[in-house]
Amino acid sequence: MTALTDRIQEKVDWLFPQLVAWRRHFHEHPELSFQEQETAAFVYDRLADFGGYELSRPTETSVVARLITGRPGPTLALRADMDALPIQEENALDFASKIPGVMHACGHDGHTAMLLGAAKLLAEQRSSLRGELRLFFQHAEELFPGGGQQLVDAGVMEGVDTVVGAHLGSSLPTGKIGVCLGAMMAAPDTFSITVVGSGGHAAHPNQTVDSVAIAAQVITNLQHIVARNIDPLDSIVVSVTQLQAGTADNVIPGSAWMGGTVRSLDPALRDSMPQRLERVVRGICEAHGAHYSFEYRRGYRPVINDATVTEWVAEVVRSELGGEHLEVIRPSMGGEDFSAYQQKAPGSFFIVGSGNPDLESDFPHHHPRFTIDEAAMRNGVVVFIGLVHKILATAS
């Protein structure tokens, strides 16, 4: 352990009860994407209390804090997301959500608390830093088009040299920090397909163009894109998740609608997917005398971690927590709008393990029983502060 490590650990341990209090406050008072007015106001007021930060509100429900040291150096940005999900909480916690049908089921309450904690401690360390530290308390990660792109469009990344974000992860044990080099999270695109046939009596299918039967063939053959049309070494998912057709047992409906998602890590492969999907739909519909409509909506870009910045994160984990806490993780087909910032500067996104079966904090994300092991927040704050000192510390 280094002298810096000892000081960081001591300060984070001292601050830990406040981290827990902040996280529980956010958990009790969740707000949906683009509705985070009270959360943003709470964050703004705490940052103002810390002192030393130039504060702004680039959007109605976000906060940006700048710690400008006045000494030449790079600009580092750290990001936390603040929004909750439209899920009814099923946890029997003293601090369970007070908002019916809304809960923090993805750990964003912990993300916000961790970055607030880092902000408080770093405000006291300004004299030992150079350049600029920029903190993004972001709205609307869960809902496309996402708060990340809105903040980028508002100019928050101008002059930023490096950007880093973190996410609590229930599938990674508490105490572990997960890093992933290169493509880490997928582009979550969506599609909508309507098969238009000709309806009629279910007793006389020969007099119809059966939209349900055709839709079934479309669904089956879309899976052939992944199984037989894509290199097996490329990572991609095509999932039809919605199907709507018909109103009665004895009526063949005139149309059937389906929707779903395409998840991809490679930008070039992603660009080819609309044409691949529509080719399948067009061929099947033409073969059976049906018509169709097809819509493909591009979601967030894939999260692709910069090699140098990711190694900095790994070095901080090894030096401040110990090498046994570092884990190289596999990419995920989930999506994250942290990718918006990575279009403007090299960046890395890492996972703070918060899974603990003894505390029942190993439920999957977006589950009504999701919660975190609050002890994990210590590690997130330590890594944030360690990165700031690694990148912005003045020469000794």
Domains and CATH numbers, the chain: 3-185+302-392 (3.40.630.10), 187-297 (3.30.70.360)
Residue type, 373: D
Which token pair is 348?
A: 């890395």
Largest CA distance in the chain: 86
> What gap in Å lies between CA 222 and CA 216, rounded to an integer?
10
- Between the CA of residue 296 and those of 12, 144, 261, 382, what are the distances in Å? 46, 14, 9, 41
**Among 43-52, 113-122, 324-333, 387-396, which stretch is predicted with the lowest mean pLDDT?**
387-396
Tell me, what's the pLDDT at 2?
55
In the structure encoding, which two tokens stand for residue 206, read together?
Answer: 């020969």
Is 1's pLDDT higher than 50? no
Please give the pLDDT value at position 394. 85
Query: Confidence band (pLDDT; 50, 70, 90) for 137?
Result: very high
pLDDT tens digits, one per residue of 140-184: 999 999 999 999 999 999 999 999 999 999 999 999 999 999 999
> How confident is the model over 373-382, as a mean pLDDT?
98
- Rounded to 5 degrees, φ, ψ at 317 are -60, -45
Q: Please check whether residue 243 is in contact with residue 258, taking contact to mean a CB–CB distance below 8 angstroms.
A: yes
DSSP assignment of 106-166: SSHHHHHHHHHHHHHHHHTTGGGB-SEEEEEEE--SSSTT-HHHHHHHTTTTTT--EEEEE
Provide, rounded to the nearest whole percent, the portion of the chain with pLDDT above 90.
97
- Report whether pLDDT(251) > 50: yes
- Which pLDDT score is estimated for 7? 81
177-179: strand order across its sheet = 54-56, 63-68, 132-138, 75-81, 162-173, 347-355, 177-179, 326-328
* Mean pLDDT computed over every residue of the chain: 96
Cite the active site residues.
83, 141
pLDDT in tens, 173-219: 999 999 999 999 999 999 999 999 999 999 999 999 999 999 999 99
pLDDT tens digits along 74-90: 999 999 999 999 999 99
Q: Is 186 helix (H, G, I), strand (E, B) or coil?
A: coil
Is residue 8 scored above 90 in pLDDT? Answer: no
Specify the pLDDT at position 270. 97
pTM: 0.94
Average pLDDT over residues 249-275: 97
Predicted pLDDT of residue 351? 98
Question: 71 falls in which pLDDT band (50, 70, 90)?
Answer: very high
Between the alpha carbon of residue 22 and those of residues 19, 25, 51, 112, 215, the distances in Å are: 5, 5, 18, 8, 49
